[in-house]
Structure 1
Amino acid sequence: MSSGARDQAVHVRAPGKINVFMKVGALQDDGYHDVATAYQAISLFEEVSARPADDFSVRFSGPIDTRGLATDGSNLAIKAARLLARVADYRGGVALEIEKHVPIAGGMGGGSADAAATLVACDHLWGTGLSRDELHDLAAELGADVPFALMGGTAVGTGRGDQLSPALAQGTFHWVLALADVGLSTPEVYAELDRHRDRHVHDIAPPVEQPTVDIEVLQALRAGDPHQLAEYLYNDLQAPALHLEPSLAATLETGELQGALAGIVSGSGPTVAFLAADQDAALELQVALSASRLTVLRATGPVHGARVVAG
């Protein structure tokens, strides 16, 4: 590691994500579910700065209210730094500063982006020289969405969501994100999905063990056609998220009435992602939803994964 690497901060940017498609398999004996999802990284970035330190610390800034976030060893970014230090046999620490732009507990992978950015930042700062595959393996130990935040772009995720295959996506997709005032716990949404399936066992098809992403979704992404993609947006976690937070139904209805091609709860929610036809349509939708007193952000995808940037 050079003296310059020791003395200077490393700045890394990592994206949030939207699950444009998500099927959830049957509950397994270990309490987990296999999933099949199509991820798209979007232009809502977490900004992570890493400086040399004797211990491990994290502090937050940015437009997102972070008062409820842990800053001790339970924080995912701290876990990422400690994991890399242990694997690389690095004896020092790191001071992390995270400027948050991705909603917390919003189903958009903000914490996962923090962890992915921390892995890249610390690898660069400490000169550990891990390959991208080695970083991916560490990311998978930290959480199902962390490898995708590392990879970015558009990808199919299977297993826990961490077994990734790049997916071709032409052009740019325009999204308008309606943020909720409350977060949803991912484990609780999955538990509600299991209860929902038990309640409706005679009305819905039983979940498969190993779900797959519908081919029509991949064709729409490859064609770069938002109208086609809108037809196939799907999320098994949407029904349980709506059951836990009924106000999301009104949000979905409002967006579609105001011109969105389609809306979907992203991941475990409660963020609702609306797909727009183009940039002008996205701007109009953003204005209309803001006028309806919803908190909204506009973003595009796909974008790159976690990478070092000048700063």
Structure 2
Amino acid sequence: MVAGRTAGLHGIGPRAVRVKAPGKINVSLRVGPLREDGYHSVASVYLAVSLYEEVTARVTEDAGVTVTVNGQGSLNLPLDQIPLDASNLAARAATLLADLSETSTGVHLDITKRVPVAGGMGGGSADAAATLLACDALWNSGFSRDELAKIAVDLGADVPFALVGGTAVGLGVGDQLTPAISKTPLHWVLVTSAFGLSTPDVYRTLDDLRTAGGNEPLEPPEMDPKILGAMRAGDARGLADLLHNDLQLAALELAPELKDVLQTGVDAGALAGIVSGSGPTVAFLADGADHAVEIEALIASTGLQTAVVHGPAHGARIVTDFVA
């Protein structure tokens, strides 16, 4: 259980708030050198997609934060990998907001997982973003969306984006967000895995591979503006040639079977395929909604776990609040 404060304000505001927040695809992810703070500088183009985590925050009589997790949908969701103690990112988000709020109470977080666990799509970050928004409403804390985004930085680089959603460029460690215009939907087929990859392990492997190859970067990376142009125009074919992920090399080193997955998607007619973030989820770009359905059917016929999504999708949003 996570320590928290109780304000005794159970009669004020809703007794429970349900929020959903999106997973993401890194349409482009360039990784620079290791910084003095132990993180890597990155230049990323984030795309929120229509696969949502859902968090219900409910007032409890006891102080502190408790967590339960359940899964929905047909994707591989190894829920036993998710901690239910103070190390859970959603629990950390609730505790952080409780420390900043004058009206916090005990809270139970019920998390419905739909984004692949440890899959490179920011599912844990979406949980944290949803929790911040839900607890803010639950406790009438009064933080603006921008203030919550600043709080979210302390929880990880992907958390602010899950609050904002849409399309954005992320610099620094990915937390310096600049929203980008991208209204025309892009359609993707996701292939998920029954295992996860540790993000720190993937970055560490990338460093090792670069050191061994003598190609360590010296400067922070830059974002290719052509990517935003293609996304703004909804030009899937133009974007296909621009997809890039520096972490893909490391993900394939740790999980060589992903090479076969990438080839399967290409054989099924995808415009391009890319490992999402640190993996192992693979995202295949389609030339429209009907094309995505065709690709998914062909990939699924090989026995792989698939889902069709589109983006940009909205950021964290309150679904409902209720008194009972």
Q: TM-score range by the shorter chain?
A: over 0.9
2:65 aligned to which of 56, 73, 94: 56
In structure 2, what is the Cα distance between the partners aligned to 1:25 and 1:255? Answer: 29
Q: Does 1:249 align with 2:256?
A: no
In structure 2, what is the Cα distance between the partners aligned to 1:280 and 1:289? Answer: 15
In structure 1, what is the Cα distance between the partners aligned to 2:13 and 2:280? Answer: 40
Aligned partner of 2:6 in structure 1 is none
Shift of 1:4: 6.0
Alpha carbons 2:167, 2:312 under 8 Å: kept = yes
The percentage of counterpart residues that share the same residue type is 54
In structure 2, what is the Cα distance between the partners aligned to 1:127 and 1:91? Answer: 8
The one-letter code of the counterpart of 1:226 is A
Q: Secondary structure at the match of 2:79?
A: coil
The one-letter code of the counterpart of 1:46 is E
Aligned partner of 2:18 in structure 1 is 11
Q: Secondary structure at the match of 1:303?
A: coil
Alpha carbons 2:10, 2:59 under 8 Å: kept = no
How big is each residue's C-alpha offset from its partner over 1:24-49, in whole Å with a ceiling of 9 and x where there is no partner? 00122332111000000000000111
TM-score, length-scaled by structure 1: 0.96
In structure 1, what is the Cα distance between the partners aligned to 2:280 and 2:19? Answer: 26
In structure 2, what is the Cα distance between the partners aligned to 1:140 and 1:28? Answer: 17
Shift of 1:91: 4.7
In structure 2, what is the Cα distance between the partners aligned to 1:178 and 1:91? Answer: 40
In structure 2, what is the Cα distance between the partners aligned to 1:246 and 1:281? Answer: 27
The one-letter code of the counterpart of 2:231 is L
Residue correspondence of structure 1 range 220-235 to structure 2 within 5 A:
220-235=230-245
Q: Does 1:20 align with 2:20?
A: no
Aligned partner of 1:297 in structure 2 is 307
Aligned partner of 2:172 in structure 1 is 159
In structure 1, what is the Cα distance between the partners aligned to 2:36 and 2:11? Answer: 50
TM-score, length-scaled by structure 2: 0.92
Residue correspondence of structure 1 range 177-256 to structure 2 within 5 A:
177-201=190-214, 204=215, 206-256=216-266
Alpha carbons 2:78, 2:195 under 8 Å: kept = no
Q: Does 1:85 align with 2:98?
A: yes
Aligned partner of 1:270 in structure 2 is 280
How big is each residue's C-alpha offset from its partner over 1:34-81, in whole Å with a ceiling of 9 and x where there is no partner? 100000000000011111112211101123331221111110000000
Aligned partner of 1:71 in structure 2 is 84
The one-letter code of the counterpart of 1:98 is I
In structure 2, what is the Cα distance between the partners aligned to 1:16 and 1:192? Answer: 24
Structure 2: state its 5+ residue gaps.
1-8
1:35 aligned to which of 29, 34, 42: 42
Q: Secondary structure at the match of 1:288?
A: helix
In structure 1, what is the Cα distance between the partners aligned to 2:236 and 2:10? Answer: 47
Shift of 1:171: 0.9
Q: Secondary structure at the match of 1:253?
A: helix
Aligned partner of 1:123 in structure 2 is 136
The one-letter code of the counterpart of 2:53 is E
In structure 2, what is the Cα distance between the partners aligned to 1:29 and 1:303? Answer: 34
The one-letter code of the counterpart of 2:236 is P
Q: Secondary structure at the match of 2:142?
A: coil
Aligned partner of 2:3 in structure 1 is none
Alpha-carbon RMSD = 1.4
In structure 1, what is the Cα distance between the partners aligned to 2:227 and 2:218? Answer: 19
How big is each residue's C-alpha offset from its partner over 1:221-248, in whole Å with a ceiling of 9 and x where there is no partner? 1111110111100000000100010000
Q: Which runs of 4+ in 1 moved over 6 A?
A: none
Q: Secondary structure at the match of 1:263?
A: strand
Q: Secondary structure at the match of 2:228?
A: helix
Shift of 1:209: 2.3
In structure 1, what is the Cα distance between the partners aligned to 2:35 and 2:108? Answer: 39
The one-letter code of the counterpart of 1:255 is G
Structure 1: state its 5+ residue gaps.
none
Aligned partner of 2:188 in structure 1 is 175
